[in-house]
Amino acid sequence: MTLTIDRLAPWIFTLGLFAIWEAACRLFNIDQFILPAPSVIVEAMVRYYKPLLRNGFVTLWTTLAGFGLAVSFGLALGLLVGWSRTIYRGLYPVMIGFNSIPKVAVVPILVVWFGIGEVPAIITAFLISFFPIVVNVATGLATIEPEMEDVLRALGANKLDIMLKVGIPRAMPYFFGSLKIAITLAFVGSVVSETIASNAGLGFLMTQAGSNFQMPLVFAGLMALAIEGIAMYAVFAALERRMTGWAVRSSQSAAG
């Protein structure tokens, strides 16, 4: 009984939210231009499904391209930073400084360098999403139990052995956990860039629709973004469960 409710809860809440939204729009007679009701948004989604699909696809692939770059670069940098304390100490302030720059501010520079289009979107997605991957991988490596390290060193293991046998497998739950965060950030990056300087993508579509006062289409674009974001999050959450299920189960078990 509780299990079915547990499973249905996300749907119930989502549908409930939309129901309240719809009811509020009708009850208070809210102007479509201020806040379109869900039914109006769905209508717009159906009517404009072609441009939504086309631009949604552009956003999806630029996001995934930027995210892919972030994964390879973030993993490599994370391993490097987690490997040595010196590199960690040297790079950390630089990375913090870099991460605290609002990425919106970088987009104009990218446009000057690469022109308007998909490249700035890919790079913005990459820039905004690599940081959590680096930090998580480095944390996973840096928190090896000292006793485990002693056990291996007393067997004659070198640093590489310790990393391969303990450090990297141990960092994997952190890595896969960070992918969920990174993919949502990557969407933020690509859409920000599309909004500022682009001629395709959901961000571009929404800016255009906004300047034409087509509010239902703006919200339809938002909806498409939400769908893409949730779908990608689900993919990486499933991947995490599959790859590092031991981490979840071991923390649940009583034996610890």
Site residues for other proteins per CB under 8 A: 145, 147-148, 150-157, 161, 165-166, 169-170, 172, 244, 246-247, 249-250, 253, 255-256
Least separation in angstroms between CB 53 and other proteins: 41
Cβ proximity to other proteins: between 27 and 155 the closer is 155
Contact 129, 67 (CB under 8 A): yes
Nearest-angstrom CA–CA distance, 127 and 28: 43
**Helix 49-83 vs helix 38-47: crossing angle, to nearest 10:** 100
Comparison of 86 and 253: residue with beta carbon closer to other proteins = 253
CB of 21 to other proteins, least distance (A): 44
Nearer to other proteins, 31 or 145 (CB): 145
- By beta-carbon proximity to other proteins, the closer residue of 12 and 151 is 151
Cβ nearer to other proteins, comparing 51 with 169: 169
Q: Rank residues 166 and 179 by Cβ distance to other proteins and give the closer one.
A: 166
Q: Choose among 104, 169, 166, 174: nearest CA to 139.
A: 174
Q: What's the closest the beta carbon of residue 78 comes to other proteins, in angstroms?
A: 18
Q: Which two tokens stand for residue 166?
A: 């303990």
Nearest distance from C-beta of residue 92 to other proteins, angstroms: 21
Q: What is the CA radius of gyration of the chain?
A: 22
The least CB distance from residue 160 to other proteins, in Å, is: 11
Instruction: Report which of 64, 69, 75 is spatially closest to residue 135, judged by C-alpha positions.
Output: 75
Question: Torsion-angle region of residue 156: left (phi > 0), alpha (psi -120 to 50) or beta?
Answer: left
Its sign, for the CA torsion 195, 121, 62, 140, is negative
What is the smallest separation between the CB atom of 154 and other proteins, expressed in angstroms? 4
> Which residue is it, tokens 């890595």?
175
Q: Which of 72, 84, 48 is nearest to 129 (CA)?
A: 72
Is residue 148 classed as helix, strand or coil in its secondary structure?
helix
